[in-house]
Copies of this chain bind each other. A is one copy, B any other.
């Protein structure tokens, strides 16, 4: 019977300075004293990544993506070595590994690489040798192939035959990539648990800064967590949750600053018996774009959305009004920080497509309810719209997924809306498996799509 294997991930704020690094080391040492084998993934210290970006920005407006990845990866190298040193100082055998040394290979998309494979042999060997392994998160290594002049001829003359050089390149996984590193390692190492240490205690029914009686969840399903994260809950990156889901990795989100149980993200067999709304998410980083009087003919949507996708702009809610007089209004949301870029792309297209006007609105926000099985029980939509109406909040757009309903509203109504929904779905109350929701919800039924828009996404 071997020791349980736990993968732990500590974010930048947990290792922001020497004191915090020593505290993280003490926590790791305590877990190890409990008999666990440990593989620990760390982010760069505090604001290191932003500082390195600023340094690159002082050199050039347009840093080469490969060079930027090499530069940024040093932040995690540094924190990993320092955590390892701090463990040594506590008498705990430890070793830091770069992403490459930890066997994390990726594709070659600099700045947003995807993990292609994890070769766990080095990590396993170090754990088998009794060490805590500290892995630099957020990074991996890709392979490229170069033609080199022949080696035999030291003068490098043109007559020498060409040789193939396999060049290992450092790649980074994008923002939040350390979560992905941790989950990928946990999957490949068959870890018993993957713990993500953050500056909050876990996943809440809503943002506790907005809803004071928001309640921490003991457990949440992968799909529900994904929807919450997509809709603005910033605790965990969606990629890491997806990877955990596909590989069945049990993820625990917990605080690195206090000793308290966190929230488990895992397959939840109780899901059908629970109160089906598990939590609320909200997002202020959103802006609405409306193309007024777009000619109503095939191919128009593609002409609008393809160039945005090519520019890497993530379009979320898309709503098209019923057409009249051969034209229609097309509205959608983009991240607020990308609005200017989206306008630059769409302005010339306006002339080509012949729509009348492009209007934008940055004073909007999204609020979502999330829970497995929501779509199968239309009462939830009714209760959501009713609660917002009772609170005097006007709904501008609506989209849904299997387990989510999202409303776009005015940003200045956001906190009112979140609190009203939290109360309406009684999220402050501990969950029961005997929900009587459907019956009560039907009392204030409201038509889905009652504001005259149709959700198409």
Residues of A with Cβ closer than 8 Å to B?
Answer: 2, 5, 18, 21-22, 52, 55-56, 58-64, 66-68, 70-71, 73-74, 77-78, 80-82, 84-86, 88-89, 95-96, 98, 101, 119-122, 124-126, 128-129, 146-149, 151, 154-158, 163, 165, 167-168, 188-190
Q: A62-B89, A121-B165, A154-B190 are in contact. Are A81 and B96 (CB under 8 A)?
A: no
Contact indicator B78/A74 (Cβ below 8 Å): yes
Closest partner residue, chain B, to A74 (CB atom): B74
Contact indicator B155/A190 (Cβ below 8 Å): yes
Contact indicator B163/A121 (Cβ below 8 Å): yes
Contact indicator A60/B89 (Cβ below 8 Å): yes
Instruction: List residues of chain B with CB within 8 A of the CB of A168.
Output: 101
Contact indicator A67/B55 (Cβ below 8 Å): no
Instruction: List residues of chain B with CB within 8 A of the CB of A148.
Output: 121-122, 124-125, 128
**Chain B min CB distance to A24 (Å):** 11
Cβ-neighbour of A74 out of B67, B77, B154 (below 8 A): B77
Contact indicator A21/B59 (Cβ below 8 Å): yes
Pick 9 A–B contacts, CB within 8 A, sort by A: A56-B81, A67-B82, A73-B77, A74-B74, A77-B77, A121-B165, A125-B148, A128-B147, A155-B190
Closest partner residue, chain B, to A25 (CB atom): B59
Instruction: List residues of chain B with CB within 8 A of the CB of A77.
Output: 70-71, 73-74, 77
**Chain B min CB distance to A187 (Å):** 10
Q: A190-B154, A190-B155 are in contact. Are A67 and B52 (CB under 8 A)?
A: no
Instruction: List residues of chain B with CB within 8 A of the CB of A68.
Output: 81, 85
Cβ-neighbour of A2 out of B2, B86, B157, B165 (below 8 A): B157
Contact indicator B156/A124 (Cβ below 8 Å): yes
Contact indicator B78/A71 (Cβ below 8 Å): yes
Instruction: List residues of chain B with CB within 8 A of the CB of A73.
Output: 77
Complex Cα gap A66–B55 (Å): 27
Closest partner residue, chain B, to A155 (CB atom): B190
Complex Cα gap A70–B74 (Å): 10
Closest partner residue, chain B, to A126 (CB atom): B146
Complex Cα gap A154–B157 (Å): 49
Cβ-neighbour of A165 out of B59, B125, B189, B190 (below 8 A): B125
Closest partner residue, chain B, to A167 (CB atom): B122
Complex Cα gap A74–B79 (Å): 11
Contact indicator A59/B82 (Cβ below 8 Å): yes
